[in-house]
Structure 1
Amino acid sequence: MFVTNGAYRLSFTTGGLLRAEAVAMAGLLVATPDAATARAQAVEWNLVQQRTAASTLRVTREVVQRLSELPPAGVELVAHGSVDDSRQLMWLAACLRYRFLRDFGREVVRDRLVSGRGIVGLADFDTFWNLQSSWVDALRDVADSTRSKLRQNTFRMLREAGLLDNENRVLPICPAPGVSAVVAAVGDELLLSFPIHDAQVAAFAGRDGAR
């Protein structure tokens, strides 16, 4: 089982889910197993299609770091799976890398689904941030401008992952077997960072326990 790093990172201020960039990068990683070589080639070819050399380096690094949170089967599925597979796996990768997103997905997004409220508003982000900042120094010390960028990008990522619509209504998902297998590999609790119903969680737990 893969274990996520415990560091509380807050570097997801721009770029959104980076799904298209990750699909291209994952394909290169599958074809070129040596990560350092693949990363160097991605920068040389501007695989992430940025306008400046600095942006190419920054975005390539971010995409590689997110993909590195996934097991090999996850990287393979990002490269060659469906659009929904890659969306869901890149949300999983973001949750693994960024504890704030993992917790927000579980405690706010999924909660709105199972409670029947169905909408996640900007105020919900602020409320959650304020509660978390009572015990997380990294949140308490963030400038207002950075907090605003993080809020904007969190909602962008949720929409790009297919978990919220444009009116911020929660969209329940049903992960495909391949995605479910990757979730099981990194930790069953990560399933709770997706908007899925309790019956799906119970079915997933039963299937996992039967193996």
Structure 2
Amino acid sequence: MRETERYKLSFTTGGLLANECRVIAAEYLRLRDWKKARAAVRADNLIQKPTASAVLRISREAMDRVSMLSDSELEIIVSGNAAERHQLVWLAICLQYSFVAEFAEEVVRERYLSMNCQLGPEDLDTFFVKKSFWHGELEELKPSTKNKLRQNLFRMLREAQIVSEAGLILPQVIGGRVVTALRRRGQGSFLVYPMRDFEIEGLMHA
């Protein structure tokens, strides 16, 4: 990532949005057109939100995520089990938000590798400070916005079963279909999950 590239930092609400991603992915696969899928989701409130503004906000965020994935990956989100869906939605979030991907690789995974598996908000605060040297946009954030980002990132980590409710980093068991999808993307795609190098090597060459 270039030092001049600003982080996208709009992951302030909603958590993982795995169910919403499943609904939107299914609609896209039915229509094979993102514009038509977006219109159908919003017109019929397929994600079942209470207000028009919530439908607009949540559907936009979920669609931004699933649009990062290939059609074969979307099919897994639609037909797969909860673990597969959560793992691929987490991948989509990391593809959408380089800030999240870097935190997953440089903090979460490194903590896991060092066998210091406790993760807390202070670790994200330290990461904010570290990255602000290259990303002035982080220093421009209001405290309230930074707090929302912190809360929602940890919510996403918990819902993706990467971090437990007690803040412990959890080992990952990646299913066969998700492994195939990650393998197609390359070895680097495994790095957003807390996995050891030998595990990744094994999955890459299984």
Please tell me the TM-score bracket, short chain as reference.
over 0.9
Q: Give 1:197 deviation, angstroms.
A: 1.8
- 1:113 aligned partner, one-letter code: Y
Give the aligned partner of residue 160 of structure 1: 159
Is the CA contact (8 Å cut-off) linking 1:27 and 1:80 kept in structure 2? no
Give the aligned partner of residue 113 of structure 2: 114
Query: 1:184 and 1:124, CA in 2 relative to 1: closer, same or farther beyond 3 A?
Result: same
Q: Give 1:7 deviation, angstroms.
A: 5.4
Distance in 2 separating the partners of 1:175 and 1:200: 10
Distance in 1 separating the partners of 2:52 and 2:109: 38
TM-score, with normalisation over the residues of structure 1?
A: 0.91
Distance in 2 separating the partners of 1:144 and 1:157: 20
- The 5 A counterparts of 1:10-89 are 10-89=9-88
- 1:36 aligned partner, one-letter code: K
Of 37-46 and 85-94, the range deviating more from structure 2: 37-46
Is the CA contact (8 Å cut-off) linking 1:102 and 1:190 kept in structure 2? no
Is the CA contact (8 Å cut-off) linking 1:43 and 1:57 kept in structure 2? yes
Q: Give 1:139 deviation, angstroms.
A: 1.3
Of 27-36 and 76-85, the range deviating more from structure 2: 27-36
Is the CA contact (8 Å cut-off) linking 1:46 and 1:56 kept in structure 2? yes
SS of aligned partner of 2:205: helix
Query: 1:10 and 1:174, CA in 2 relative to 1: closer, same or farther beyond 3 A?
Result: same
Percentage of pairs with the same residue: 37
Q: Does 1:182 align with 2:181?
A: yes
What do the CA deviations read for 1:15-63 (whole angstroms, capped 9, x no partner)?
0000011111111111111111111111011112211111101111111
- 1:128 aligned partner, one-letter code: F
Distance in 2 separating the partners of 1:89 and 1:72: 12
* Number of aligned residue pairs: 202
Unaligned runs of 5+ in 2: none
Q: Does 1:93 align with 2:116?
A: no
Is the CA contact (8 Å cut-off) linking 1:70 and 1:186 kept in structure 2? no
Is the CA contact (8 Å cut-off) linking 2:6 and 2:137 kept in structure 1? no
Give the aligned partner of residue 123 of structure 1: 122
- 1:64 aligned partner, one-letter code: M
Distance in 2 separating the partners of 1:112 and 1:96: 21
Unaligned runs of 5+ in 1: 1-5
TM-score, with normalisation over the residues of structure 2?
A: 0.93
- 2:129 aligned partner, one-letter code: N
Q: Give 1:93 deviation, angstroms.
A: 0.2
SS of aligned partner of 2:191: helix
Distance in 2 separating the partners of 1:161 and 1:138: 27
